[in-house]
Structure formats: structure tokens, C-alpha cells
């Protein structure tokens, strides 16, 4: 099943029958944030909040990509993951 909108892709992730790897989840998070909010301008989280730091860094990976580019990459990633997890 190919997603054509961000909403369809998000709905598709909710149908996954098993959980993607942490690396895959971080990529999804980073692309989603870039697609919906643009560049990460937030302050870096504190040193011992490892989960927040990983999410922050994942989003930062996509800095400079347009929302449209990030959306396209997010859709592609969800389609790839849906083949593994649905």
C-alpha cells in the first residue's frame, strides 16, 4: 500500500503489527518533525535525557530540507517499513 499524504502514512504506521527498530523509529520521528515543523530550532535537551537527545539529533539530521522534501522521504520510509511490519 502506497501512502500519498502525511495523514495516510501516519494512519499506516498505526497498522504495523510489530514495532520498528529504534533506529527506524528515530528516522520516522525526525522526518515527521521536519515535514510538519521545518528546521529544528529547539534547545538541545539536557545530557542525561538520552531519549530526548536521540530524537533531537534525529530531527537535526534533516535540517535544511524543505517540508515537501521531508514529507516525500517520510512517505517513502513508511512505505518501506509497511512491507516489513504489516
Q: What is the pTM of this model?
A: 0.94
pLDDT digits (tens, 9 = 90+) for 10-62: 999 999 999 999 999 999 999 999 999 999 999 999 879 999 999 999 999 99
Domains of the chain, start order: 6-85 (1.20.80.10)
* The pLDDT value given to residue 2: 82
Q: Decide: 84 and 23 in contact? Cβ < 8 Å.
A: no
* Cα–Cα dist 85/21, whole Å: 10
Count CB-CB contacts under 10 A for residue 34.
26
pLDDT digits (tens, 9 = 90+) for 60-74: 999 999 999 999 999
* Cα–Cα dist 44/68, whole Å: 25
* The pLDDT value given to residue 1: 65
* The pLDDT value given to residue 8: 96
* The pLDDT value given to residue 3: 86
Amino acid at each position: 500500500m502506497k501512502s500519498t499524504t502525511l495523514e495516510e502514512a501516519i494512519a499506516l504506521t498505526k497498522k504495523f503489527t510489530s514495532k520498528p527498530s529504534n533506529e527506524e523509529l528515530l528516522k520516522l520521528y525526525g522526518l515527521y518533525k521536519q515535514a510538519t515543523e521545518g528546521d529544528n530550532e529547539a534547545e538541545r535537551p539536557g545530557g542525561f535525557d538520552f531519549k530526548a537527545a536521540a530524537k533531537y539529533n534525529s530531527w537535526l539530521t534533516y535540517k535544511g530540507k524543505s517540508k515537501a522534501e521531508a514529507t516525500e522521504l517520510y512517505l517513502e520510509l513508511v512505505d518501506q517499513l509497511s512491507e516489513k511490519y504489516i
